[in-house]
């Protein structure tokens, strides 16, 4: 399998991508240091800063969530690899407006270690930080071991909640608390239909024969919970919703927001076919969908597949979801 990619030297992929982003969106984004991107406007004094980061290859994750009503800065790793603590520290310094900085990112041990290290270094410089991890993928560890779960597309809801609360001048503790509450009621699960190719590796991350699918696969191609024949959309939807609803558990009468996320190569049309059955499966569990996001919110290069995320709502969370946000990648009015 040759790489059907529009790239130059694989080694230059991340840096050239960043150059392109900065050329395309100079009014929105600027580089505070190599591979450290922040909002062009700089930190607003008194606002809690929000720093995120992770591997490249997941756009709009993570950089795409740097913008008004979202995060303030991002440390950009190599493809599917953690950024360094040095980059995270640079981002932290650049977005600090004196009210402390929230670290919001996915639960991967490389990222955790580097963010923790950066937090220690930031504190030594007098910048207080607080951390919320997205660990929404129910396929990655059983109930009772939630702390070990990896973060996937559901983090999009957390950025929205965190950013809106920070824009409305919440304190670091207040922002942290509402995002923790959101994270506690957030569950995701996905299905992969084809692998992707990391440019520097030049080979598919895994092999999946045509006609098969893998339920529960991670966004870097981490093995899932079950591989089998490709099933119709409605069966896929039912399984994903069953796992998600069984896990929290969501109760009849709950109101939720739903995200149907494409992993990269799956057409938007298919995401809506999937959502149709997700909606029905949730309705069957007497769970009401109040808000629906459908599209690419966290990808794995050109992987085919989709994930479903469900966020339990309360009035405050609904209000924060409805607040406007604006980045070159994610806009809500």
Ligand X SMILES: Nc1ncnc2c1ncn2[C@@H]1O[C@H](COP(=O)(O)OP(=O)(O)O)[C@@H](O)[C@H]1O
Contact code string over 15-54 relative to other proteins, x by CB under 8 A: ----------------------------------------
Does 58 participate in catalysis according to the annotation? Answer: yes
User: For residue 25, which phi and psi values (nearest 5 degrees)?
Assistant: -130, 50
Query: Which residue in 25, 220, 243, 279 is the catalytic one?
Result: 220
Residue nearest to ligand X (CB): 110
Among 10, 110, 204, 328, binds ligand X (CB under 6 A): 110
Q: Which range of residues in 1-9, 63-71, 91-99, 107-115 is near other proteins by CB under 8 A?
A: 107-115
Beta bridge partners of 102: 50, 130
Residue 295 CB, shortest distance to a copy of itself, in Å, is 8
**Residue 11 makes contact with a copy of itself by CB under 8 A:** no
Which residues, 6+ apart, have CB-to-CB distance to 179 below 8 Å? 102, 104, 132, 158, 161, 162, 165
**Residue 230 makes contact with a copy of itself by CB under 8 A:** yes
Distance CA 33, CA 121 (A): 17
Beta bridge partners of 229: 212
**Residue 234 makes contact with a copy of itself by CB under 8 A:** yes
Q: Which residue has the tokens 């392109």?
A: 20
Burial code of 17-41, b = ≥16 C-beta within 10 A, e = fewer? bbeebeeebeebbbbbeebbbbbee
Distance CA 135, CA 202 (A): 29
Residue 140 CB, shortest distance to other proteins, in Å, is 4
User: For residue 111, which phi and psi values (nearest 5 degrees)?
Assistant: -65, -40
Q: Which does residue 85 touch among ligand X, other proteins, a copy of itself, none (CB within 5 to 8 A, set by kind)?
A: other proteins
Among 126, 144, 147, 211, binds a copy of itself (CB under 8 A): 211
Among 11, 20, 109, 314, binds ligand X (CB under 6 A): 109
* Site for ligand X, rule CB under 6 A: 109-110
């Amino acid at each position: 399998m040759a790489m059907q990619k529009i790239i130059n030297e694989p080694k230059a992929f991340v840096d050239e991508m960043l150059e392109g982003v900065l050329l395309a969106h100079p009014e929105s984004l600027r580089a505070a240091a190599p591979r450290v991107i922040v909002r062009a406007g700089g930190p607003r004094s008194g606002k809690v800063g929000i720093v995120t980061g992770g591997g490249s290859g997941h756009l709009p994750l993570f950089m795409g969530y740097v913008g008004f009503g979202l995060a303030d800065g991002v440390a950009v790793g190599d493809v599917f690899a953690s950024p360094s603590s040095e980059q995270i520290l640079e981002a932290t310094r650049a977005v600090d407006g004196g009210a402390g900085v929230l670290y919001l990112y996915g639960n991967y041990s490389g990222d955790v270690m580097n963010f923790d290290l950066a937090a220690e270094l930031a504190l030594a410089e007098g910048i207080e930080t607080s951390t919320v991890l997205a660990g929404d993928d129910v396929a990655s560890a059983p109930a009772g071991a939630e702390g070990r779960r990896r973060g996937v597309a559901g983090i999009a809801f957390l950025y929205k909640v965190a950013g809106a609360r920070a824009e409305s001048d919440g304190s670091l503790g207040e922002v942290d608390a509402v995002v923790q509450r959101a994270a506690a009621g957030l569950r995701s699960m996905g299905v992969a239909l084809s692998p992707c190719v990391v440019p520097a590796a030049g080979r598919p991350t895994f092999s999946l024969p045509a006609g098969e699918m893998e339920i529960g696969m991670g966004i870097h191609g981490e093995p899932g919970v079950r591989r089998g024949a490709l099933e119709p959309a409605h069966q896929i939807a039912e399984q994903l919703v069953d796992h998600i609803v069984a896990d929290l558990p969501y109760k009849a009468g709950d109101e939720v927001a739903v995200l149907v996320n494409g992993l990269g190569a799956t057409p938007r049309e298919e995401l809506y076919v999937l959502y149709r059955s997700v909606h029905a499966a949730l309705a069957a569990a007497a769970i009401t969908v109040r808000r629906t996001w459908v599209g690419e919110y966290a990808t794995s290069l050109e992987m085919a597949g989709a994930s479903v995320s469900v966020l339990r709502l309360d009035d405050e969370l609904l209000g924060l979801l409805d607040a406007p946000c604006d980045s070159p990648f994610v806009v809500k009015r």
